[in-house]
Amino acid sequence: MPRARPRAAILMLLASAMILAGCNKTTGQLGPASSLSTASTTPLSLDALAELGDKWQANPRDASKGLAYANGLESLGQKDEALNVYQKLFEADPANAKVAGLYGRKLVSAGKADQAIPMLEDAEKHGDTDWRVMSALGTAYDQKGLYQKAREQYSKVLSSDPQNLAVMNNLAMSYALEGNLKQAEAELRAADAFPRSKSEPRIRQNLALVIGLQGRFDEATTLAQQDLPPEQVQENMAYLKKMLSQPNTWQQISDSGSQG
């Protein structure tokens, strides 16, 4: 069996484990998607949503009405339809920095980094200093494997807001995706040390993930049990153990984690 590249093994493990953890509402990766709401995310009634849609259709260039409609669609789980609204708003007024930034961030959340990167880069060039735009651009770079460029974006945010937990988390996961699990652990521990992180279980769950990927299952289990029921923690650990038991995988991860 051919030996896979260490980074490929890391990507496979992280992606699979993230999907598993993401099934629980209290877990998942912090990132631009956690700060994207433009209004209340309380689900609307279908009648209320239809009314918002009618108001926007009456004037498709009205960004405020379009954003309200897109937010309503998202509150009902209609993300593809919401993304289509953002696209139409952007096409109607490409110079609207708020719309461009939001559309770019939504594209990142949808995993469409190729489309998002030029839009977010342009927003940054035109002086958009919203940390969420810079963080989203970093996430898009990570999706393309451009880890150094991603970390440059996160560093820009942290230079002025050193306790931004969402960006600290993204920085850590960038290292993890690159295969540097030790640095990822260090970054997540730094984030977890801030008092505000006590109300943010996603930091601890990603820390448990990174520790588990290094084979320290007892430690990862103890950490994960702070927020998840024992049966889910056991399922997660069993999944990681199965992945790590694949031929060569553990050595590949150990080698990658010692680099950098």
- Give the residue range(s) of CATH 1.25.40.10 domains in the chain: 31-161
Confidence of residue 22 (pLDDT cuts 50, 70, 90): very low
Note the pLDDT of residue 252. Answer: 54
Note the pLDDT of residue 255. Answer: 52
Note the pLDDT of residue 251. Answer: 52
Note the pLDDT of residue 121. Answer: 92
Q: Radius of gyration over alpha carbons of the chain, in Å?
A: 20
- CATH top-level class for 1-30+168-260? mainly alpha
**Residue among 205, 183, 203, 175 nearest 191 (CA):** 203
In whole angstroms, what is the distance from residue 136 CA to residue 109 CA? 8
- pLDDT, one tens digit per residue, over 67-80 is 999 999 999 999 99
Kindly state the percentage of the chain with pLDDT values over 90: 55
User: Residue 253: is it exposed, middle or buried by C-beta count within 10 angstroms (0-12/13-18/19+)?
Assistant: buried
- What fold characterizes domain 31-161? 1.25.40
Does 207 have pLDDT greater than 60?
yes
